[in-house]
Structure 1
């Protein structure tokens, strides 16, 4: 393993942690960093109010939903932090209003027996999109009503991503990607065809590129030209296994893309020569499958986490700086606080952990 650097980015030990009832399936920060939410495989949903003083997460915690023994698999906050939505195996999407003195359930959307696995909020409006079999529905938290229902047609929806401008919604599944214009939901979507199913999709923060992985371990980076994709996307192959996660950084003129596959973390950068395309560099710090990669907001500091509980921190997306101390258990969620001062991680034993910025690491970019 690499030798640790003296300048740490985060304190090695968690500042605080709590243990929930089961395997933690999802975590989410609100954009203003006030709230951290977590959901479990037993249906438990908790809200942590980071505005409250102290490091005791138990004293900051509000239980939004007690364990139901039915998994909650996705959750997220609206852009303004007022609303929290969650969905899962019971076919219901629940929406909480956080504007009052206490969180209050605003709506429960009953969708029958459809498992809700994907839910993504609009980048500026209080609207969210979620997968519903072969359909995607867009809901408004303000009106508590449907905005539109989109038919993907080819297959069950496997991925959903809003363009950062909020003007387009991209949906992936068998046969490729469809992109609908929010200005006119009835207009035919743009279709980007693939020989197999698009499994994961992430727009870079400026909205210039969309990366997608397929079920046969192909990665495609498409350049967005404003109303359509460039006809010649970049294709990357040769990954050791399933693509588990992507993340982009917005800190450079040329964006960086991190991907995880097997025990490899690869950092991609677009070469100045268009004929070369995107070049990838493997950074080595894991011996187990890496489930998550996450750039600290507006920096090139990268966190990566694996199935053995190892979380590595990298400077400039290439230089190993430190490993965070965690219990030995699969990391099931990893997310930087939007302000970048804390890192949250969760594991298969129900532990939710928070690390804080080290005074040694201030000034690192």
Structure 2
């Protein structure tokens, strides 16, 4: 009898130990985090789109940062762009897929004419045209009916494009890769700007809302003594200003609606004025990639390399953080 009791106690002890070990292992196993490349605020400020390497497009309620719908895709999401007047979203991915999502119907329409993934995507000022800058060094333009109108090749090489932005009032496109190119919808390249002597890609380009000049942010190579920079350029190729301070690449830059403030995402969220003076810095423990202002310039949303979604004030004060 005593032997049976002893054996029973040993079994109970072993079971409890196994349970504690399993619980400890569960508690110490790090959650797999997803690089979130892109985020964008809808024009009515109600929705925030987020996408990244997990191949899922998520739409959040902007007030509470709660997921209200999600759409699994076949490849990693590189950039999203809301239509300027309608609640539809253009989505660029890492393979041959550019899609437009209608939020009201939840239907996804794939555009034809893409042979490899696109990094840059955007609507023109009135929403009648959509353009991509892709991995083959091509700029492609569609009309509002999703008809491919034009494919624009580089004259000299086929190196990848990383970024694209339409002029705020004209049908001109700025596309960033190894250099900065200003292109019109006829296919003519109006200007090529070699932004620095070092070979470092332009990851983000944004026209100022006035249309008078452009801002660009590059990759840099900090470990090799080539710091990442933000520059202001006139469209004629005149350099206006160089902004420094980051120890990591500038993945995204965004003007607020009024053009008074420029937000940049890299090793921190930085807010600059139109003259290029640094006003505010929001520290981050991980690198920031996606970035967007809301339409009234009161808040900023960012995404990060470790799957964090962060909401900030216009003075780079963190309001809220969630993890995908």
User: Aligned pair in 2 of structure 1 residues 128, 324: CA closer, same or farther (>3 Å)?
Assistant: closer
Q: Unmatched 5+ residue regions in structure 1? A: 1-41, 43-66, 271-276, 359-365
Deviations for 1:292-334, whole angstroms, at most 9, x for unmatched residues?
4333321343344543x373x444324x254536356544444
- For the 8 Å contact 2:36–2:289, the answer to whether it is kept is no
- For the 8 Å contact 2:141–2:150, the answer to whether it is kept is yes
Deviations for 1:36-71, whole angstroms, at most 9, x for unmatched residues?
xxxxxx9xxxxxxxxxxxxxxxxxxxxxxxx77455
Q: Counterparts of 2:273 and 2:42 in 1: how far apart (Å)?
A: 30
- Counterpart in the other structure of 1:288: 247
Residues 126-137 of structure 1 correspond to what in structure 2 (within 5 A)? 126-132=87-93, 133-137=95-99
User: Aligned pair in 2 of structure 1 residues 250, 192: CA closer, same or farther (>3 Å)?
Assistant: same
| Higher relative contact order, structure no. (Cα contacts within 8 Å, ≥ 6 residues apart) | 1
Deviations for 1:158-183, whole angstroms, at most 9, x for unmatched residues?
32211121111112220411101113
Residues 169-188 of structure 1 correspond to what in structure 2 (within 5 A)? 169-173=130-134, 174-183=136-145, 185-186=146-147, 188=148
- For the 8 Å contact 2:49–2:59, the answer to whether it is kept is yes
Provide the secondary structure at the position in 2 that maps to 1:297: coil
User: Aligned pair in 2 of structure 1 residues 257, 325: CA closer, same or farther (>3 Å)?
Assistant: same
- Counterpart in the other structure of 2:11: none
Pick the structure with more helix per residue: 2
User: Aligned pair in 2 of structure 1 residues 85, 193: CA closer, same or farther (>3 Å)?
Assistant: same
- For the 8 Å contact 1:78–1:125, the answer to whether it is kept is no
Q: Unmatched 5+ residue regions in structure 2? A: 1-29, 221-227, 317-324
- For the 8 Å contact 1:120–1:162, the answer to whether it is kept is yes
TM-score, normalization: structure 1? 0.61
Q: How much does 1:81 deviate?
A: 4.1
Q: How much does 1:344 deviate?
A: 5.3
Q: How much does 1:237 deviate?
A: 0.9
Residues 113-132 of structure 1 correspond to what in structure 2 (within 5 A)? 114-132=75-93
Q: What is the RMSD of the two structures over their aligned residues, measured on CA atoms?
A: 3.6
> How many residues align structurally?
270
TM-score, normalization: structure 2? 0.68
Q: Counterparts of 1:258 and 1:347 in 2: how far apart (Å)?
A: 22
Q: How much does 1:141 deviate?
A: 1.6
- Counterpart in the other structure of 1:79: 43
- For the 8 Å contact 1:166–1:182, the answer to whether it is kept is yes
Q: Counterparts of 1:179 and 1:250 in 2: how far apart (Å)?
A: 22
Q: Counterparts of 1:205 and 1:242 in 2: how far apart (Å)?
A: 23
- Counterpart in the other structure of 1:92: 56
